[in-house]
Amino acid sequence: QERGGSNSFTHEALTLKYKLDNQFELVFVVGFQKILTLTYVDKLIDDVHKEFRDKYRNEFQQKGTLGLLNGTFDFKDDFLRLLREAEESSKVRAPTVMKTFEQSVKSQKTVKCMIETRGEKPKEKVKTKKNKGSKKEGTEAVTASNKAAPGEKQPSSAGDREELTKDEILQKNREEFFKRHMKAGEKSSKSPKPDAQKEKGKKPRVWDLGNSNAKVLDYSDSTTNGNPEACPVEEFDPDMALGDRNREPGRLYDLEYESDEEAEEEKVIQNTSKPSTKKGGLGGMFGMLKGLVGSKSLTREDMDPVLEKMKDHLIAKNVAAEIAVQLCESVAKKLEGKVMGTFTTVTSTVKQALQEALVQILQPQRRVDVLRDVMDAQRHRRPYVVTFCGVNGVGKSTNLAKISFWLIENGFSVLIAACDTFRAGAVEQLRTHTRRLNALHPPESHGGRTMVQLYEKGYGKDAAGIAMEAISYARNQGFDVVLVDTAGRMQDNAPLMTALAKLIAVNAPDLVLFVGEALVGNEAVDQLVKFNKALADHSMAQTPRLIDGIVLTKFDTIDDKVGAAISMTYITSKPIVFVGTGQTYCDLRSLNAKAVVAALMKA
């Protein structure tokens, strides 16, 4: 998945190291047990690469690499010889010998310089630097002595210390000690002491017009759970909630990107026609051939200037800086040594390779098909559980409502579990969404079946317990999907990350979605790495449950700076399942990799 920047891969107990030969399109792979620390692996794979390529170079050039797939290679003896040489070369290195006492720095010190007198500061090593402006060494010594002279706090010179006896030094230190304490007493008397020390810890703020009674916010004994009459149908304009009325119900449209390719092609045609009128035939021909590479292999020096510009371009498009560097490194290793065509520029070759790499990153191997998985859960007569997690304010509740609407339009009933028991107004926000979704899809349109309900227990309760009760309730009532809304939390907050890991470990959801906004740059990497690390560290299972997919929100606010999509998929190798593009329930899209890459590569 375009990770050529790192030449090793670990799978369970095995480690694989590989090397590419782009000239003949060969891959050399060596595998060994992860527990072993073999120092000669890099030397072995380099030696095998050179030996194999030199031995069969003529056959590669005559038949091509693909023509040798059916052939056999008599290389076993050569490989065993190279392996033996590599093992012996690692043993030949002489072990490091410890220094003798005479060679150490300690042996050069005298006993006198190691004795420290009590109350005396240790002598500081003075490093003399050669100044360009100074003419004589004597002037440096004079300036150093002048700087040390004023002020009583400067330590006395070595000669004065030798003249003072121990009793005099102790007396002098006592006087300095009393002076410091007298000054400190004067300062403390000037500043009045506070009457009462502030108690540690945060206190809840009590508002004048508010209600300090927490029982008002407790919905444990509420009749809303399982009672659709508690959520009255709200009358509102459906056009505002739905947006496009001409859409196909239940369909998840792809992202669209309006490219200016036709306009660019017209400009190119105009620009290529102009030089022919100004210059002669030969001049125009040489101008066209300038910068073209004719049947030569690419070197790192040829690609470095282009890759540097590509890296800056990716960072400007909101790709995380670390990932932009790794991507360019991967493209360089993929192209190094590759033979170019006759009329091909280095820039176009690197750009095309980078585009292919970006498309491959945005299309991970594991594809999440939510509708198929929900139908599979239906056959097993259990609800399909989705948990949403992410940092504060990225749009978890809003996009949960959009996904609920999409599922309802596909004929699935949804139970929303209000497990954000911390943020003020979180339960009320989901209750409003539930009312509006029920207004858009009333039970009368679905044979008397309520398509969406809210399961709530108020604030200040254990989120993992509420999620467990909601899943049990959905199983008993025959709901198809349970969407679990969690509180937003920063990736550095250890207690909240532990609570999230507990919720996921206890309830074992079918899908864990990380909700991230498209506005972030380098922060996207930090968030995803730390969320995955926290889920792995705080999980009790041997194979901890990590993030399964990504919901990318606020995509309509970034124009063509779509780098966050690359950063998130690169760092996790997980797909972007949904893309939020607006404020209505219909503003939900699936990721179109080619459209994102087109926006990313746009100048």
pLDDT at 377 over 70: yes
Alpha carbons 504 and 540: distance in angstroms, whole number: 11
Helices 463-477 & 494-507 angle (0-180, nearest 10): 20
- Predicted confidence band of residue 225 (pLDDT cuts 50, 70, 90): low
Q: Which residues pair with 511 in a beta bridge?
A: 386
Alpha carbons 162 and 175: distance in angstroms, whole number: 20
The two three-digit tokens of residue 310, written as one number: 């590509």
The 10s digit of each residue's pLDDT in 258-278 is 555 444 444 443 444 444 344
The identity of residue 127, as a single letter, is K
- Predicted confidence band of residue 542 (pLDDT cuts 50, 70, 90): confident
pLDDT at 515 over 80: yes
Q: How many alpha carbons fall within 13 Å on the CB side of residue 505?
A: 17
Alpha carbons 153 and 168: distance in angstroms, whole number: 17
Q: Shortest CA distance to 510 belongs to which of 465, 480, 466, 478?
A: 480
The 10s digit of each residue's pLDDT in 487-496 is 999 888 888 8
Instruction: Report, as an integer, the average pLDDT of 188-199.
Output: 50
Instruction: Report, as an integer, the average pLDDT of 132-155.
Output: 44
Q: CA torsion sign, 365 to 368 to 369 to 372?
A: positive
- Which DSSP state fits 590? B
Whether residue 55 contacts residue 47, with contact meaning beta carbons closer than 8 Å, is answered with no
Alpha carbons 419 and 485: distance in angstroms, whole number: 5
Whether residue 304 contacts residue 318, with contact meaning beta carbons closer than 8 Å, is answered with no
Distance from CA of residue 108 to its chain's centroid? 52
Instruction: Report, as an integer, the average pLDDT of 429-436.
Output: 93
Q: CA torsion sign, 354 to 359 to 362 to 364?
A: negative
Alpha carbons 458 and 422: distance in angstroms, whole number: 9
Distance from CA of residue 383 to its chain's centroid? 31
pLDDT at 485 over 90: yes
Instruction: Report, as an integer, the average pLDDT of 193-221.
Output: 56
- Predicted confidence band of residue 467 (pLDDT cuts 50, 70, 90): very high
- Predicted confidence band of residue 418 (pLDDT cuts 50, 70, 90): very high
Whether residue 450 contacts residue 479, with contact meaning beta carbons closer than 8 Å, is answered with no
Task: Provide the pLDDT for residue 85.
Answer: 87
The count of other CB atoms within 10 Å of the CB of residue 365 is 8
Helices 396-409 & 426-440 angle (0-180, nearest 10): 20
Those residues whose C-beta lies under 8 Å from the C-beta of residue 599, and which sit 6 or more positions away, are 257, 259, 560, 562
SS3 (DSSP) at 163:
helix
pLDDT at 7 over 60: yes
The count of other CB atoms within 10 Å of the CB of residue 541 is 10
Alpha carbons 460 and 259: distance in angstroms, whole number: 49
Long-range contacts of residues 153-161, Cβ cutoff 8 Å, at least 24 apart: 155/121, 158/123, 161/120
Q: CA torsion sign, 418 to 421 to 422 to 428?
A: positive
- Predicted confidence band of residue 177 (pLDDT cuts 50, 70, 90): confident
- Type and span of the H or E element at 248: none
* Angle, CA of 4, 76 and 339, to the nearest 5°: 40
Q: CA torsion sign, 62 to 66 to 69 to 73?
A: positive
pLDDT at 2 over 70: no
Phi then psi dihedrals of residue 20, to 5 deg: -100, 140
The 10s digit of each residue's pLDDT in 568-577 is 998 888 899 9
Alpha carbons 349 and 296: distance in angstroms, whole number: 13
Whether residue 345 contacts residue 386, with contact meaning beta carbons closer than 8 Å, is answered with no
The identity of residue 190, as a single letter, is K
Alpha carbons 112 and 108: distance in angstroms, whole number: 12
- Type and span of the H or E element at 31: strand 26-33
- Predicted confidence band of residue 157 (pLDDT cuts 50, 70, 90): very low
